[in-house]
Every structure is written in C-alpha cells, then in structure tokens.
Amino acid sequence: MTEFGSPEQTPSLTGPRRTQRLGAYAVVVRDGALLLTKISPSGYPVGYWALPGGGVDHGEAPHDAVRRELYEETGLTASAVRLVDIHSLRVIDHGRHDAYEDYHGVHVLYAVTVEPGVEPRVVEVDGTTDEAAWVPLTDVAALSTLPVVDYVMERLADYTP
C-alpha cells in the first residue's frame, strides 16, 4: 500500500504535471519510402519510429530547427523546406519516467527535399535517435510509430510535389 503523500500519490492529488513542447519535423519522401528515425533509450517512447525532428530551441526559428534536427538525426542536409501543416497532440497519462503528466505537443510539419543518393546516418552522439532509415511506405503501418507519423501518412499527398 502506498503511503499518503508519497511521490506515487502526489500526482493524483495535485493533478498531472503540465508539459508543452514545440517541435519541428521533416517529412521526407523519396522513391516510395519515408525517412524515419528510431527513438533511443535516451528518448521517449523507446523503440518507436518518428519523423526526423525535435524541439525548437529558445529563440530558434522552426524553419532553422527542422534543418538542424534533420542533420543531427540523419546526417542529411535539406535542399528545400516547405511549411505544410501543424499537428497538435494532448495526452494526459503516465509518460517519461512514469510521471503523470498533461502533455501538449505542437508539431510544425515541413515537406523537405534532400540530396538524392545519400543514405541516412545518425550524427548526434548520445541523443534521442539511434537509427535512421528509409522505410517503404507500404511498411510504415506495421511499425510502432508516434501519432504524428500516422497523421502525416493520412495526408501524404500534401508533402509531395
């Protein structure tokens, strides 16, 4: 039995911790495949596939953040970036480190073109990405993906020229 006032009880008495995150994400489609990144043990949720991208630093423009994150997570350089959409997600549940939180993610989505023939590789050391790969569009649904990937897949035509 958990003692009243212990860390396990505190979230339910005070409500979930509120967390908001602004991120910029690259949607890169090439030769019938989508560029995806796999979340490392340093990230959350571990082992899920995501779009290349991540948090916008304080004072950083989302347009610059998507280019930076794309390079850090895949080693690829954006040759063209076009703002397409914004996805918003709110989840009230146990999250990172099993903390009870009210999470609100705002995802700025860009259609991105990269240099042809260059294979992805993770550049950032000890980051939240441990793999980057071109995944055939027909295989994406079989993976454990973040909701933003499902959102993009439903609107894929918006990201292709």
Given a contact cutoff of 8 angstroms between Cβ atoms, the answer to whether 15 and 102 are in contact is yes
Provide the 3-class DSSP secondary structure of residue 49.
Answer: strand
3: pLDDT strictly greater than 70 = no
* Mean pLDDT in residue range 34-46: 95
Residue given tokens 């602004």 in the structure block: 22
7: pLDDT strictly greater than 80 = no
**What's the chain's average pLDDT?**
90
* pLDDT value at residue 95: 73
Structure-derived torsion over alpha carbons of residues 46, 114, 28, 71, reported in degrees to the nearest 10: 20
* pLDDT value at residue 5: 39
8: pLDDT strictly greater than 60 = no
* pLDDT value at residue 13: 55
Q: CA nearest 114: which of 89, 92, 81? A: 81
